[in-house]
Amino acid sequence: MDRPQQTWADGWWAPARRVPSPHHNARPHGVAVEGVVLHSISLPAGSYGGPEVEDLFLNRLDLSAHESFESLRGLQVSAHFFIRREGACLQFVPVQARAWHAGRSSFLGRENCNDFTVGIELEGLEGHAFEPAQYRSLVRLLRALRQVIPLRWVAGHEHIAPGRKGDPGPGFDWAGLQRRLRWSAGRFPFA
């Protein structure tokens, strides 16, 4: 197993390509990270491999490039990590900082999930299947996160903002993720 000091530096995971986003701030004083929120995203919807998601998180998305992008005007959003279809991982925000990924949210009786979670975006479309390479990268990342944060649970955006968000959706293999990680069901408290 990798030692934390070999894979992490100032909240950045060495295997991920570092792409610092301006869309983050400090977590509230004394609030520890305890969970991970999984999301899915593609821009335009169902289109993979392009620079659009990265551009959105970096505040440089060309809103005229696709008719659906106009709805993103003024949006300031980021995630800590983004896992592409082929498994490549990008990191936008160091894990000790608060990325702006969850929006209006609550989980296990706590509001404002951005305060106490790490956000991981998977390149995909809500409800559709994800690639084996993405699951391999996600498992590696989640195991690495447990080296540096007291990770208690993993949930989807759909679980922390029900009715408002539906990602990653029914195409995500939660049972398979739990098997691959060999983590107890208690780390997936939405089931």
The pLDDT tens digits of the residues spanning 36-88 come to: 999 999 999 999 999 999 999 999 999 999 999 999 999 999 999 999 999 99
Query: How much is the pTM?
Result: 0.96
Whether residue 168 has a cis bond before it, omega within 30° of 0 = yes
Mean pLDDT over each residue of the chain, to the nearest integer: 95
CB under 8 Å to 51, separation ≥6 — which residues? none
pLDDT at 3 over 90: no
For tokens 């296990």, name the residue. 108
Query: Is 121 a known active-site residue?
Result: yes
174 inside domain: yes
**Is 146 part of a structural domain of the chain?**
yes
Report pLDDT for 5: 56
Q: Is the pLDDT assigned to residue 107 strictly greater than 70?
A: yes
In whole angstroms, give the CA distance from residue 145 to residue 7: 10
User: What's the mean pLDDT in 77-104?
Assistant: 98
User: Is the pLDDT reported for residue 1 higher than 60?
Assistant: no
Please report which confidence band the pLDDT of residue 4 belongs to, taking 50, 70 and 90 as the band edges.
Answer: low
Catalytic site residue from 52, 54, 67, 121: 121
Q: Which residues pair with 97 in a beta bridge?
A: 26
In a domain, 187, yes or no: no
How far apart CA 98 and CA 128 sit, in angstroms, is 28
State the helix-helix crossing angle for 174-181 and 132-148, rounded to 10 degrees.
50
Is 185 within a domain? Answer: no
| Total structural domains within the chain | 1
In a domain, 109, yes or no: yes
In a domain, 117, yes or no: yes
Identify the domain containing residue 47 by its residue range.
4-179
The CATH number of residue 123's host domain is 3.40.80.10
Mean predicted confidence (pLDDT) in 113-124:
98
Question: 74, 100 in Cβ contact below 8 A?
Answer: no
The rounded distance, in Å, linking the Cα atoms of 141 and 146 is 9
Question: How many Cα atoms sit within 13 Å of 62 on the Cβ side?
Answer: 5
Residue pair 180/190 in contact by the 8 Å Cβ criterion:
no
Nearest to 147 by CA among 1, 35, 18: 1
Which has the closest alpha carbon to 183: 79, 8, 18, 36? 36
Q: Is residue 191 part of a domain?
A: no
Band the pLDDT of 6: cuts 50, 70, 90.
confident
- Whether 190 is covered by a domain: the verdict is no
